[in-house]
A = this chain, B = another copy of it.
Amino acid sequence: MKLNRGRAITSMPGPSVIPDRVLAAMHMSMPNIYAGDMVDVSLSLFKDLPAIARTGGHAFIAISNGHGAWEMALTNTLSRGDKVLVLESGRFAVGWGEQARMLGCEPEILHAPKRAAVDPNDLEMRLKADTSHEIKAVLVVQVDTASGVWNDIAALRQAMNAARHPALLMVDCIASLGCVEYLMDDWEVDVTVGGSQKGLMVPPGLGLVWAGAKAMAAHKTANMRSPYWDWTARLSEQAHYLRYCGTSPVQHIYAMRTALDMIAEEGLEAIWARHAIFADAVHAAVAAWSTPEGLNFNIIDPAQRSNSTTTILSGSIDGARLHRICEEDAGLTLGAGLGDLASSSFRIGHMGHLNPHMILGTLGTVEAALLAMDAPIGAPGVTEAAKVIAKELAA
């Protein structure tokens, strides 16, 4: 029986649930875009965004999605023929590396162990072997939306330092920013890439890039720069529209302002803590459901699982049917498996605008759908998740 009335919800790992406040902020008539309030609000974004990545560097806002932000990061810092080392731990760093190849760079892939994060030792060894410093940049994701892995960026930086290697460290935080601790300057990250539509709770449409001093220096000699993405033009103070290389994304500017206000009201540390709790709750449920033949975590080591999204191997269970029951009969959209894991996994996003009701509703619905399918599950999971949350409510 179809029970999919009520407010449909997505628990995809992005785009995440957009707060009503953010949607309301976009529901506005067109203002003057050359002066006045819109320009003030826009400037406030450039002022406030660096703190989101915990950097004193520059923030750039491209009208694009995350792939556009990737391209902005690469074209502004690298040159044709540059070698880049891609730390593979899922699907997205590899995609970024493919972009680099099409732009004219030479990506080399360093594989993480199976179902695991990148091993800093592997990175250190590879960089030590690059004695002539041919590798100009290391590309890595903090969280891979496909595999659900969390990479330890601080440790990866330590590995680079141990190898005394000068390559730029470029980190894709699209699926983690605003969810998981990220300290760009402390970790000596040179370029950070983000998007509007996940932890930042804004509809897709803005690509974000943060650049530190070393990246800005590399920018000066990069030969792949293009007018649309070019940082130099975007830093010009001559006219406000140059910051967006043309007409500014009016509605998204107000959306982002609202989202940054919400983030400021809660505090970034509190947000990271909240995501850690909800991740614990989700993981507790998945752990309870898990059986040798049925559901299992894709990422084996609990310490390497993301606090923003969880990838679950479906084993003998028909993941597509589970997805369909949740969506068509119960109004909940889960994340489907991506890439290699397309037919063997599903994903639960737990990023952004979330509370216990939403998390427990999602887990309860998945549990109901599993039961409806007569899927083998180890033990009731939603109750375990409720226990995790109870502990925090009591605190």
On whether the beta carbons of B247 and A14 are closer than 8 Å, the reply is yes
Further pairs besides A63-B65, A65-B249, A372-B393: 6, Cβ < 8 Å: A9-B29, A24-B24, A65-B245, A204-B250, A330-B393, A360-B363
The listed residue with most B CB atoms (<10 A of its CB), out of A64, A273, A274, is A64
Please, which residue of chain B has its CB at the minimum distance from the CB of A366? B386
Residues of A296-352 at the interface with B, using a CB-CB cut-off of 8 Å, are 325, 327, 329-333, 336
**A10 in contact (CB, < 8 A):** yes
Please name 25 pairs of A and B residues whose Cβ atoms are closer than 8 Å in the assembled complex, sorted by A: A3-B389, A5-B355, A6-B17, A6-B354, A9-B29, A9-B357, A12-B32, A16-B30, A23-B28, A32-B327, A36-B327, A63-B68, A65-B244, A67-B228, A67-B246, A68-B228, A68-B246, A102-B227, A103-B226, A204-B248, A205-B252, A359-B361, A368-B387, A372-B391, A382-B383
Please, which residue of chain B has its CB at the minimum distance from the CB of A23? B27
Please, which residue of chain B has its CB at the minimum distance from the CB of A369? B393
Chain B residues contacting A383 (CB-CB under 8 Å) are: 367, 380, 382-383
Which residues of A does B touch, CB under 8 Å? Answer: 1-10, 12, 14-20, 23-24, 26-34, 36, 63-68, 70-71, 75, 98-99, 102-103, 195, 197, 203-205, 225-228, 230, 244-252, 262, 266, 270-271, 273-274, 277-278, 325, 327, 329-333, 336, 353-365, 367-374, 380, 382-383, 385-387, 389-395
On whether the beta carbons of A31 and B19 are closer than 8 Å, the reply is no
Within 8 Å by CB of A266, from B5, B15, B31, B70, lies B5
Chain B residues contacting A389 (CB-CB under 8 Å) are: 3, 330, 364-365, 368, 372
CA–CA, A34 to B203, complex, Å? 15
On whether the beta carbons of A20 and B7 are closer than 8 Å, the reply is yes
Contact status of A392 and B1, CB under 8 A, knowing A204-B249, A247-B65, A386-B368:
yes
Least distance between A284 CB and chain B CB atoms (Å)? 12
Please, which residue of chain B has its CB at the minimum distance from the CB of A371? B390
Chain B residues contacting A228 (CB-CB under 8 Å) are: 64, 67-68, 70-71, 99
